[in-house]
Structure formats: structure tokens, C-alpha cells
Structure 1
Amino acid sequence: MNYLKNLDLAKSADRLLNHGPTTLVTFEHAGVRNVMAASWVMPLDFDPPKVLLVLDGSTFSWPLLEGSGSFVLNLPSRIQAELTLAVGSCSGNDVDKFATFGIGEARAQVVQAPIIPGCLAYLECRVIEEPHIQKRYDLFIAEVVAAYADERAFSNGRWHFPNEKLRTIHYSGGGTFYPTGIPFNINQ
């Protein structure tokens, strides 16, 4: 069953991120795709909604982002913690993460990028070109051009985690995650 609902960007996009969840960021350019885990993502503005993404210039994802000018922030749930740790612990230079981890693939609605099925929310983003900031600080500013969320966990512009499985996660290192509430550990 599909529980995703498109959101009013000006009223809801920032609220998807303002509690600081770990994200899975997806990219695609010239037929090459990648997914990476990222905690250094935050809302920047309301209308139009903007986000900040820190992305090291030496990553496999950097040229994909530069080439496409877009990405998707996928907000995984607690049941996706192992996947989050796995994709964050290897490089797209070494493996096709979608194939290696059996990630089903769906397509974003507006930008040219995959989305990770089963996440609680998605923010589709287009980079606002700021070459100096991007190169010097590894920081990308992007406008959110589409956002949608699982209505079971996000509706009326608010998160309301109905059970342990439908909670966003926060990563603190060493395989330890915190759902919105109680910490848990994924053994490495």
C-alpha cells in the first residue's frame, strides 16, 4: 500500500528535516547512480524551501551531483538502519550499492534521480550554483522542488511517529543510531 502524499513545500519541507535525521542521498548522472548516508543536511529557508548538503569533493557522488545538479534526500526509518549503515560504510567507487544491497529502486517525481523505497519522506532538490562555496567548503545549497512523506508518520505538516518502526533515525557513530527517542545499536 502506498502511503505517500505530496506536501505543500512552503508549509512542510523544512519540517521534514528540522529534527536532524540521518538521510540517504541519491544521485544520478549519465546512467550512473549512487546512494550515500549523510547526517550533515539541514533546512535553510522556507519559501522557496532550501536545504544545505555537505559533500566531500573526493566522494564518488561529487561528479554525479555536479553533472546532474540535483539529488534526493530520502529519510530512512528505524527498520532501514542496517541499510543506512551499509551504504554509509562503503564507496560507490568500489560497489554498485543498489545491486550489492538489493535496494529496490523507484524514480523521483521531478528530478532525475532514484529514490529508496520504504523511506518515511523524500525531498527532491536542485542545486543553486555557488561554485566558490561548493569548492571551498564542500557545501551545496539546493532548492526543494518536490517533497512527499508517508502519511502514517507525517501529516498536517508534523511528524507523529505512530510506532517504533516508523521513526526517523539519527546516527552518532560506531554503529549506534537513535530513533526519535530510544537508542539502538547495529553491530558491525
Structure 2
Amino acid sequence: MKEVPASGAFRQLEPGPIVLVTTSYEGIPNVMTMGFHMMIQHAPPLIGCVIGPWDHTYRALRATGECVIAVPTIDLARAVVDIGNCSGDTVDKFERFGLTPQPARAVSAPLITECIANIECRVVDTRLVEAYNLFILEAERLWIDTDRKERRTLHHRGDGDFAVDGDVLDLSEHMVKWRHLPR
């Protein structure tokens, strides 16, 4: 084994697919790219998201307490990267990147039609925001595009390097200890 800088640990433990986070603040929708998030628990479904004060979304999330986490697939890869390289305080990202906002049911932030999944969320805990920019969200509604042909997601490995998800290994029959959890 060769020791490398600990700052690269995220490359080994990346938290899941790159997602897009939408907000609506003062009636204006916005979208940002986010790579640092994690599932915290199954029920209620809690998601931890790192969104810093340098992001326009941070102000919107603090003010409204709600957002949508949208899961893009690889056909949106360039848009996902480009969305992360501009700010919603100066750019209408939905227009610039050809994304279609769709009304959500439980929150004012829009769903993104082009994404395979959209999760409507509310902020339920902000105790770690000041120290770590970590918002705890509760998923209230989940929307899946079951007809979507492209299903592969992007996983950021740092510095513009992405892994593509696609293969599935189903070992559910061996998960006997966890069968009591909701699916």
C-alpha cells in the first residue's frame, strides 16, 4: 500500500450520485449541483446535505426550509458540471441549461422533468449548519420516472473525474436481518 493525502478520502467514499438541488426563493427557482450528501436513516427518511454559504442555494434553503433533490443521469453530465460552475444569483439556470421545472406537491421548489428521480424535502435540523454547513432534510415525497431509458448516474471522484453507475448486483435474498425495514 502507498500512503496518499487524507484530503482525498472522499474519492474512496463518495456519498452517492451527483444530484441537483432546486429551491424557490421569492418566487425565483434555482438549481445547484451537489456531491456531498448522505442517507442518514430509513424512517423517517433523513438526508444530510452539505451546502455552504458561498452557494446561492444556501440562502434560499435557510429562508424557505425546503428543496428538491433531483437525480440526473449521464445524458445530463455536461449540464450538471456547468450548473455547478455558475451562480443562480446571476443566471437563470433552468433556462440556460434547458431544464424543465415541474411543480412539486409538498414544497415550492420545482422538480426537474429531465431527471430520473426527484425527492421533495424539508429541513428538519440545522444544528450542524454553522459548524459544518450540514443540513438535515426529511424526504416527504419521491417521484421516479419509470419510463426513462437512461438510468446510469454520475459519481464525482474529484477534479472533474466521474464514475458512471449502471450495473446492479441484487443480493436482497441475503439481507435477512434487514427485511423489517420499509422498502
Q: TM-score when scaled to structure 1?
A: 0.75
The CA distance in 2 between the partners of 1:48 and 1:181, in whole Å, is: 27
Runs of 4+, deviation exceeding 4 Å? none
Give the CA deviation at 1:177. 2.4
User: Could you list the runs of 5+ residues in structure 1 that have no partner in the other structure?
Assistant: 1-17, 154-162, 183-188
Q: Deviations over 1:31-64 (max 9, x none)?
A: 1221111111111111111100000112111111
* Counterpart among 31, 36, 44 of residue 35 in structure 1: 31
SS in 1 for 2:128: helix
* Other-structure match for 1:143: 138
Match of 1:95 among 87, 91, 94: 91
Unaligned runs of 5+ residues in structure 2 are 1-13, 168-183
CA separation of 1:95 and 1:19: change in aligned 2, threshold 3 A: closer
Q: Structure 2 CA distance, aligned partners of 1:112 and 1:26?
A: 9
Aligned to 2:101: 105
Structure 2 residue matching 1:144: 3-state secondary structure: strand
Alpha-carbon distance change, 87 to 180 in structure 1, aligned in 2, over 3 angstroms: same
Report the RMSD for the aligned CA atoms in angstroms: 2.1
Cα pair 2:72 2:153 within 8 Å, conserved = yes
Shift of 1:181: 4.9
How many angstroms apart in 2 are the aligned matches of 1:117 and 1:125?
17
Match of 2:113 in 1: 117
Residue 182 (structure 2) pairs with residue 180 (structure 1): no
What do the CA deviations read for 1:138-168 (whole angstroms, capped 9, x no partner)? 0000111001212257xxxxxxxxx7x3211
8 Å CA contact 1:111, 1:124 repeated in 2? yes
SS at match of 1:20: coil
Task: Say whether the 8 Å CA contact 2:120–2:142 is kept in structure 1.
Answer: yes
Question: Would you say 1:170 and 2:155 are equivalent positions?
Answer: yes
The aligned length equals 154
Secondary structure in 1 aligned to 2:136?
A: strand
- Provide the secondary structure at the position in 1 that maps to 2:29: strand
Q: Give the structure with the higher percent strand.
A: 1
Match among 39, 43, 54 for residue 58 of structure 1: 54
How high is the sequence identity, in percent, across the aligned residues?
A: 34
Give the CA deviation at 1:29: 1.7
In structure 1, C-alpha distance between the alignment counterparts of 2:163 and 2:41, rounded to whole Å: 26
Q: Does structure 1 conserve the Cα–Cα contact (< 8 Å) formed by 2:48 and 2:135?
A: yes
Give the drift of 1:117.
1.2
Question: Which letter maps to 1:113?
Answer: A
Shift of residue 109 of structure 1?
2.2
Higher gyration radius (CA): 2
Aligned equivalents of 1:123 and 1:168: distance in 2?
Answer: 16
The 2-side partners of 1:179 and 1:150 are apart by 19
* Counterpart in the other structure of 2:68: 72
